[in-house]
Structure 1
Amino acid sequence: MGGVCSRKRGNQVNEDGVRTGVNRRYSKNGSSKWLLGTPFFRTTSGCQGEGGSCPSLMELCIHKTCQDIDKYRSFSVLPRDISQQIFDELVRSHCLTDVSLEAFRDCALEDICLGDYSGVDDSWIDVISSQGSSLLSVDLSGSDVTDSGLALLKSCSSLQALTFNYCDHISANGLRNFNGLSNLSSLSFRRSYAVTVEGMRAFSSLVNLLELDLERCSGVHGGFVYLKGLKKLKSLNIRYCKCVTDSDMEAISEFTNLRELQVSCSSITDAGVSYLKGLQNLVLLNLEGCQLSAACLDSISALVALSYLNLSRCGLSDHGFDKLSGLKNLKVFNLAFNNITYACLVHLKGLSNLETLNLDSCRIADEGLANLTGLLLLKHLELSDTEVGSNGLRYLTGLMNLESINLSFTLVTDAGLKKLSGLSSLKSLNLDARQITDIGLAALTSLAGLSHLDLFGARITDSGTQYLRCFKNLLSLEICGGGLTDAGVKNIKDLTSLTLLNLSQNCNLTDKTLELVSGLIALVSLNVSNSRITNDGLQHLKPLKNLRSLTLESCKVTAPEIKKLQSSALPNLASFRPE
């Protein structure tokens, strides 16, 4: 999070495929995450054992070996699983270099995950390819690998997963090196200039491919005709490929085993969606940002196996939603940023298996929520930027499985929050609105199970923070309204489960705040931007060994001092501002 607490504004597409600098395992490519995303962080520190327990002998040995990596020339005599652990730890700690990599030649490693790792180029591939038939997965996203490097991987005939996202030095000719890798089941080339019509011809021999991720590839139009032989394909991600048109959908309709199709922000129309009616195994369909009309709903109604449907930002109105009443398997439904009203929600009554519903920025008022009373399995409800007020919350009181509700920028006031106090399963609550005060926070004290509480913009003062003591299970807390001083932070210091704490925009906080939060040793992310914190206060952060993100923008803090703290006391700190 930045110095100014990040909040969505307007109708910008959430491009969650943008590179973040965080390593991504190949099995996570093409993620269908689009709502209520929660950041997950590794919290291991050094050789600390799991759950803070004493580390095992093996963990100590791995840690010591990594510390002394320059002393070893080869690990090829070690059992493969031990070499793999040493390799993974060096990558995790950013200590693997082109020199130390040589020690892993001929180690029969199975997984090489170097996504977004600095300095990776063709010279690294020589050692990587020496793993031979043992090598199963490789992630070289963001690297400087070229066609020559790709050619070296041809000898690794057992490869099952390859990830080359954002690799700008690979050409269409280089993709020909995939011929012979018939065991590949997962392939990802996000934002690749190599994936042209000619480049896609090289994928035609990958007959065992199950997952193909071509997100943000601008040259794929017309290339899907070469993939008709990939009869086993189950997942296809072509999000943000504006070049994709209706004719491409006709070619994709040949993939009858397809279970997941992500084609958001493309140029397809209702006609393109009509080609998908034969994909009876389709479970996930993401059409976000495609300009469609009610006619597409008739085609979608034939996909009775759907459990996930994203129609966000499609320009839809109330007309035609009665056609979707037969999608009884639907669990996740995203209708955000459409011109829908109460008339659309009437047709949701029969979708009794819904667990997630996103109505962000729709024209929904209090009475519209009456149509949700029968959705007893609902866990996540997004009502941000709607016309819902306190009276409408009475329709939610029977939804006892609700775990998260976003009421940001609505008309809900303190009085309305009392209606939520009986929702015992609630874990996450976003109250990003200035109508909520200390009194409203008091009404929520019975929700002891809350794990995420976002009070950005709410008028919470030092007095109101006393009610936070009830939320012992909080993992994430954001209070960015500007009303806190060090006195209020005293009521936060005992919330020892916190992994994320955002206190930005509270300009009266001082170094005392850092002293108060120094006992929150589970913290992974801390933001105290736009405050009066100075370099002198940084010493209080030394106990926070799990801290990976630190944001102190617009404070009297300098980057060199944070770097000094990072090198001496916070080895896991991977992101900090100012930098």
Structure 2
Amino acid sequence: MNRELDIIAELRKAEVNFKFSDNSPERVGKVYNVCSAKDQDRIVDLASKLEALKILDVNHSKCITEKSAKSIGQMRQLESLRISFSSLTGTALRHLKWLRRLRLLEAQDVSSLSLGAPYLADIKSLRVLDISGTDFNDAAIEHLQKNVQLEELIANCTKVTGSGFSFFPSECALSDISIRGCPLTRFGLDSIVSLSRLRHLSFSSSEDSSNVDLLGVQWPELETLDFSEISISNEILKELSQIETLTWLRIDDTNLANVDLSVLNRLRNLRDLGLSSTGVSADAINGLVELSNLETLTLADNEIKTHELAPLRTALPNCDIWCG
């Protein structure tokens, strides 16, 4: 205990470089404003000797060296690690396989992260992984099928088309996938929705991809669905309305002016609906009177005045309507 107190005392002297909480039973460490890799190596090495450290944040590090990565790998109680917006070599990630308790890894905008995909696959305890803004592609995604406990994957603004998910067993643990701003293909989308435990899905078109056709997609029992900039027809909306398990739906930034919204009345479990920037009319919105469980309706950036929705407010008095 005295040894640990000595370490804490030394870290306090470097308060501009390290913050932590003394709240038992865990400590939260954050390394920031580090002037040099040498300073960071020293601080991370000291932090690795705090046996109770469960959360470490080294976001925005100029360079996470091999030495620092090795020290992090010695933090055997670590459950959450944030290395976003940092520079490190892909091989440095090999030290993280020793983190047997690691549940969450945030690695947004980490350069050359795809090179470390085989090492990420060695972190068997991982539940949540955020690789947004990295160079991850489908070949790198394929490695993640080995993360058998992975439940949530956030891969926004990457090179992922979705085809890498075709190698995942349909009964894998993945229940939440976000791939907004990715060059998604129809084959990729079909591969994703074939995952039987998928409950939460978020995606959109990107400048690099053609518009993904949603007609005929075999949707699983989703609870939340969020997509934008995807062309929607009456036939597609009719198919979407068959996902009776939906409680949360976002259809933003696409033209719904000529689409029959009344089919959405089939979604009796829906609690939150977003139709921002869709060109919908007040008359179409007033037709959603059968959504008796709806609690929130977001209509930002549409030419609808609040008073025009009086019929819907009367029919759904417990629903908050936001016109923006």
Question: Which residue pairs with 2:6 in the alignment?
Answer: none
CA distance in 1, matches of 2:280, 2:170: 40
**Aligned partner of 1:394 among 216, 220, 223:** 216
What is the Cα deviation at residue 415 of structure 1?
2.7
CA distance in 1, matches of 2:293, 2:91: 49
Q: TM-score, normalised by structure 2?
A: 0.84
Question: Which residue pairs with 1:464 in the alignment?
Answer: 284
Residue pairs, 1:225-264, within 5 angstroms: 225-242=45-62, 244-264=64-84
CA distance in 2, matches of 1:308, 1:393: 30
CA deviations 1:403-434 (Å, max 9, x no partner) are: 11112112233331111111111111111133
Q: Is 1:285 matched up with 2:105?
A: yes
What is the Cα deviation at residue 367 of structure 1?
2.5
Residue pairs, 1:145-544, within 5 angstroms: 175=12, 194-196=15-17, 210-214=26-30, 217-219=32-34, 221-222=40-41, 223-242=43-62, 244-350=64-170, 352-386=172-206, 391-397=213-219, 399-400=220-221, 402-437=222-257, 439-486=259-306, 488-494=308-314, 495-499=316-320, 501-504=321-324
- The answer to whether the 8 A contact 2:270-2:291 is kept is yes
- The answer to whether the 8 A contact 2:157-2:182 is kept is yes
CA distance in 2, matches of 1:417, 1:389: 16
1:460 corresponds to which letter in structure 2? V
CA distance in 2, matches of 1:404, 1:393: 19
What is the Cα deviation at residue 209 of structure 1?
5.8
- With over 3 angstroms needed to count, the CA separation of the structure-2 counterparts of 1:208 and 1:463, relative to structure 1, is closer
- With over 3 angstroms needed to count, the CA separation of the structure-2 counterparts of 1:241 and 1:491, relative to structure 1, is farther
Give SS of 1:231's match.
Answer: coil
- With over 3 angstroms needed to count, the CA separation of the structure-2 counterparts of 1:174 and 1:278, relative to structure 1, is closer
CA distance in 2, matches of 1:237, 1:467: 48
What is the Cα deviation at residue 465 of structure 1?
1.6
Q: TM-score, normalised by structure 1?
A: 0.49
Give SS of 2:164's match.
Answer: helix
CA distance in 2, matches of 1:238, 1:276: 14
- With over 3 angstroms needed to count, the CA separation of the structure-2 counterparts of 1:496 and 1:363, relative to structure 1, is same
1:262 corresponds to which letter in structure 2? R
- With over 3 angstroms needed to count, the CA separation of the structure-2 counterparts of 1:388 and 1:395, relative to structure 1, is farther
- With over 3 angstroms needed to count, the CA separation of the structure-2 counterparts of 1:414 and 1:214, relative to structure 1, is farther
Aligned residues: 308
RMSD: 2.9
CA distance in 1, matches of 2:297, 2:239: 22
- The answer to whether the 8 A contact 2:268-2:292 is kept is yes
Which one has a bigger Cα radius of gyration?
A: 1
- The answer to whether the 8 A contact 1:262-1:286 is kept is yes
CA distance in 2, matches of 1:275, 1:405: 36
1:435 corresponds to which letter in structure 2? N
CA distance in 2, matches of 1:388, 1:406: 18
Give SS of 1:235's match.
Answer: strand
- The answer to whether the 8 A contact 2:171-2:196 is kept is no
Q: Structure 1: which 5+ residue stretches go unaligned? A: 1-171, 177-192, 505-579
CA distance in 1, matches of 2:61, 2:312: 45
1:221 corresponds to which letter in structure 2? Q
CA distance in 2, matches of 1:490, 1:207: 51
- With over 3 angstroms needed to count, the CA separation of the structure-2 counterparts of 1:242 and 1:497, relative to structure 1, is farther
- The answer to whether the 8 A contact 1:310-1:333 is kept is yes
Give SS of 1:457's match.
Answer: coil
CA distance in 2, matches of 1:227, 1:174: 8
- The answer to whether the 8 A contact 1:454-1:477 is kept is yes
CA distance in 2, matches of 1:388, 1:355: 26
What is the Cα deviation at residue 342 of structure 1?
4.2
Residue pairs, 1:133-148, within 5 angstroms: none
- The answer to whether the 8 A contact 2:184-2:212 is kept is no
CA distance in 1, matches of 2:85, 2:255: 35
- The answer to whether the 8 A contact 2:101-2:125 is kept is yes
CA distance in 2, matches of 1:498, 1:416: 26
2:12 corresponds to which letter in structure 1? L
What is the Cα deviation at residue 242 of structure 1?
4.1
- With over 3 angstroms needed to count, the CA separation of the structure-2 counterparts of 1:358 and 1:349, relative to structure 1, is farther
CA distance in 2, matches of 1:425, 1:441: 18
Question: Which residue pairs with 2:4 in the alignment?
Answer: none
Percentage of pairs with the same residue: 20
- The answer to whether the 8 A contact 2:232-2:254 is kept is no
What is the Cα deviation at residue 484 of structure 1?
1.6
